[in-house]
Amino acid sequence: MNTPKILITGGAGFIGSNLIDALINQYQIVNVDDFNDFYDPALKEKNIASHLSSPNYTLCRVDINDFQSLGEVFAHHQFDQVIHLAARAGVRPSIENPLVYAQTNITGTLNLLELIKKHQIKKIIFASSSSVYGNHPAEKFSEDLNLSQPISPYAATKLAAEQLIYTYAHLYQFQALCLRFFTVYGPRQRPDLAINKFISLINQNQAIPVFGDGSTIRDYTYIDDIVSGIIAAMEYNSSHYEIINLGGGSPVTLSQMIATIEQAMNKKALINHLPPQAGDVDRTAADINKARNLLSYAPATSFTQGIKQYLAWRAQQI
């Protein structure tokens, strides 16, 4: 029996490299990543260093905006599934440079869909974002909420990509799952994300930037739980198209997040209070009942435990 072959876009990044760790012994993996300079490409090189020696791993240094080069990847491999994680990420940078976000997150996704259609790939799993919910007043964000008010270009591009994927799945009869990730953290976390940034600044006895009064809420999700959700989605075949939240299930305030880090580090943070940032949502809170029902998804890592595990991983990197 042939080993299934999957394409993972953005496989050198935070989520992608952790996913490949979990899959590399069971699947042939082709990683498409452009190693762009949104953050230090050397970190991505480090993420994939252990994968390069595996016979199950192929690295293609390709930008998903480059349709011709991407097409050559599809021509050389017959994929059973596509896991599309590549994106320009981050709310605040998308406000500064919306054209780049639209090109990568919308046109890049469209390039993939055209090639999935051409090569008759059976399934795509797409990494969407809790940002698509904007400042929706619902107590918990469920997948059936009517979404028409994204408040950042990043969120708008993710919502547009979801809709393009639905259109192609409908027209060309392949399976599509859009997974809305809620604030993922853990080993290999991007340096621009708050938890990573705060820990680094506290270690250096520098003030951490706190936008607003500390009351904003995030549903933090540990990387291992996200990976388990993606793998469950890979194995799910019961319906044609689904949007599914993957969250931690226990939202915490910004102030609580800082207090948890302080306690785990046994060190107080110096705080630089700043005005709220445009484009940042006030709160995220995932309704994960659909993920539980369809994927048997059960996040296993509490926020306190996840912070401790992340700090332990960081200590090993020094």
| Residue 278 belongs to some domain of the structure | no
State phi, psi for 30 to the nearest 5 degrees. -110, 120
Answer yes or no: is 200 within a domain. no
Residue 46 lies in a domain: yes
Please indicate, yes or no, if residue 268 is contained in any of the structural domains.
no
Are the C-beta atoms of 195 and 310 separated by less than 8 Å?
yes
Q: What does each of the 318 residues of the chain score in pLDDT, given as a tens digit?
A: 688 999 999 999 999 999 999 999 999 999 999 999 988 999 999 999 999 999 999 999 999 999 999 999 999 999 999 999 999 998 889 999 999 999 999 999 999 999 999 999 999 999 999 999 998 888 899 999 988 888 899 999 999 999 999 999 999 999 999 999 999 999 999 988 899 999 999 999 999 999 988 899 999 999 999 999 999 999 999 999 999 999 998 899 999 999 999 999 999 999 998 988 877 788 899 999 999 999 999 999 999 999 999 999 999 986
* 217-218 and 252-253 strand pairing: antiparallel
Asked whether residue 282 is domain-assigned, the answer is no
Residues designated catalytic: 154
- Predicted confidence at residue 252, as pLDDT, reads 94
User: Residue 236's domain is classified under what CATH number?
Assistant: 3.40.50.720
pLDDT at 265: 95
Whether 280 is in a domain gets the answer no
pLDDT given at position 318: 67
Question: How high is the pLDDT of residue 1?
Answer: 61
Q: Which long-range contacts (CB under 8 A, 24 or more apart) does 36-44 make?
A: 36/63, 38/88, 38/89, 38/90, 38/93, 38/192, 39/190, 39/191, 39/192, 40/191, 43/188, 43/191, 44/12, 44/13, 44/17
Give the per-residue pLDDT at 169. Answer: 97
What's this model's pTM, rounded to 2 decimal places? 0.95
Which pLDDT does position 32 carry in this prediction? 98
Residue 5 has φ and ψ, to the nearest 5°, of -115, 130
Q: What is the largest CA-CA distance in the chain?
A: 59
- Is 266 inside a domain boundary? no
The reply to whether 73 falls in a domain is yes
Q: In terms of residue numbers, what domain contains 234?
A: 5-182+223-247+287-299
Structural domain total, the chain: 1
